[in-house]
Amino acid sequence: MVIAVIDTTEIKKKGLLIEKEHLDDYLKHFKNYEEEMNTNLFNESKWKDKRVFITGASGFAGSHLAEKLISVGAKVYGLVRRHSVPEYRNLSHIINKMKLVEGNLTDIDSILTGFKEIEPEVVFHLGAQSFVVTSFRCPIETYDTNMLGTANVLEAARKMDHSIKAIMLACSSEEYGMVYPNEVPIKETNPLRPQSPYAVSKVATEMLGQVHHKAYGTPVKINRTFNHTGPRRGLQFVTSIVCRQIARNLIRGTKDVTIGYPYAIRDFTDVRDTVQGYLLGAEKGKMAEPYNIGHGFGINIENLVKLAADVANVKVDIKIDKSRYRPAEVEMLICDYSKAKKELGYRPRIPLTKALLDTIEYFKNNQFLLDIEAH
C-alpha cells in the first residue's frame, strides 16, 4: 500500500473536520439533540400496520431499523440465515415482536417464498457482506452475497407482480472511493472510483436497481449511507474496535488502543440518524436516484480515538498496527447530504460524541465481548 496523507488545509477552512480545539463549534450544530433524538423525521402514520421485509435484519443497521419500525406499529419481517443456535442477539429485545424468515440472499427460492408468504409492501435490502477488509480477503464471497443477493431480491420482487411499493437498496459511500480534497463534501454527482471489492459490489447493487427499475418498473429507492455507528456495531468495524478497547481500559485500568491506518478521514453518523434516512428515503425518495445519508463532518481515525477517550474521561496510548492497513485505502469520505435534506427532509441530529459514549457503554454492559479480537 502506498501512503499518501492528504492535505486537510482547505477542508479545515470549510469547517468540515471534527477537531478537539474546535469541538464546541461542532457541538453547536447539535445543541438540541437530547430532545430531537426522541422524535421522528419520517411520517409515523404511513408505517402503522405496513408489512415491511428487512434483509440483514439481525445485523447492525437492520436491527435498529426493525426496532424503529416496531415502535411505530409496522408489521416487521426479517430475513435471517439459519444458525444451529438461532440466538440473533441483536434482535433479542424485539424478537417476540417480529417474525423471522430463514433464508439466504444467494438462494432466490427462499427469498421468493418469504415474499409470497408475507406479501410485503416495503422491502429494505440491508443484507450484505459489508466489511471492506473481508472483501479483500474474500472477494468472490462478497460478490456472491452482495451482487447475486441483490439480483435475487430484485428478481423475486419482479415475480410478485408489483405488490411491493418500494425496495430500499442500502448502498455505500465506499462507492466514491478515491476522492480529492476539492470534491469534499461529496455530492451524489461525484465520480465513483471504488477502491475495494466491497465498493465495486455496491456500485453494481445500484446499477442492478436502476436497470430493474427502467426495464421492469421495479420501485427501487437508493440510499448511499456513509459510515454509521452505535451500539451493536460489528466488532471488526473501527468505531467498535476503538470503543471496545476504551471500555476494556476503563474496566481494567489499562491504556493501549491499537488501530490500523490512522489518517483515513471518515464521516460517522449515529445509526439512529441513518435509520431516519432509510425511512425518509423509502417514503419520499425518487425512484432509482441515489441520496447521500451522512453526518456532514469528518474525523481521522487517530482523532476518533482521542475523542472517544475524552468522552470516556480516560487516558490512552495509541498503537499503530500496520498489518491492519488495507491493500487500497480510501483516504477521505465526508458527506454532502443537501439533496436528502431538500428532497427527503433528512438531517443528522445526534453528535458523534453521543454515539461514541453509547457504544462505550454498550461494551461496558457486555463485557464478554471485550476480549474478542476482530479486524
- 314-342 pLDDT tens trace: 999 999 999 999 998 999 999 999 999 99
Confidence of residue 4 (pLDDT cuts 50, 70, 90): low
Is 22 a residue whose pLDDT tops 90?
Answer: yes
| pLDDT for the residue numbered 23 | 97
| pLDDT for the residue numbered 7 | 82
Q: Compute the average pLDDT of residues 242-267.
A: 97
> Which residue reads 468540515 in cell numbers?
16
Q: What Å distances lie between residue 12 and 68, 225, 261, 295, CA to CA?
A: 35, 23, 20, 16
Is 251 a residue whose pLDDT tops 70?
Answer: yes
| pLDDT for the residue numbered 74 | 98
123: three-class secondary structure by DSSP: strand
Q: Compute the average pLDDT of residues 199-213.
A: 98
The answer to whether the beta carbons of residues 196 and 138 sit under 8 Å apart is no
Q: Is 229 exposed, middle or buried (0-12, 13-18, 19+ CB in 10 A)?
A: buried
**What CATH number does the domain located at 9-369 have?**
3.40.50.720
Residue 43 burial (CB count, 10 A):
14
Confidence of residue 123 (pLDDT cuts 50, 70, 90): very high
The answer to whether the beta carbons of residues 261 and 325 sit under 8 Å apart is yes
| pLDDT for the residue numbered 84 | 67
pTM of the prediction? Answer: 0.96
Is 367 a residue whose pLDDT tops 50?
Answer: yes
How do the domains of the chain map onto residue ranges? 9-369
- 105-114 pLDDT tens trace: 999 999 999 9
| pLDDT for the residue numbered 17 | 97
Residues whose CB is less than 8 angstroms from the CB of residue 71 and which lie 6 or more positions away in sequence, other chains included: none
| pLDDT for the residue numbered 83 | 73
| pLDDT for the residue numbered 2 | 46
- 78-96 pLDDT tens trace: 999 887 667 799 999 999 9
Residue 105 burial (CB count, 10 A):
25
294: three-class secondary structure by DSSP: coil
d(C-alpha 38, C-alpha 201), whole Å:
34
Is 34 a residue whose pLDDT tops 90?
Answer: yes
Is 5 a residue whose pLDDT tops 80?
Answer: no
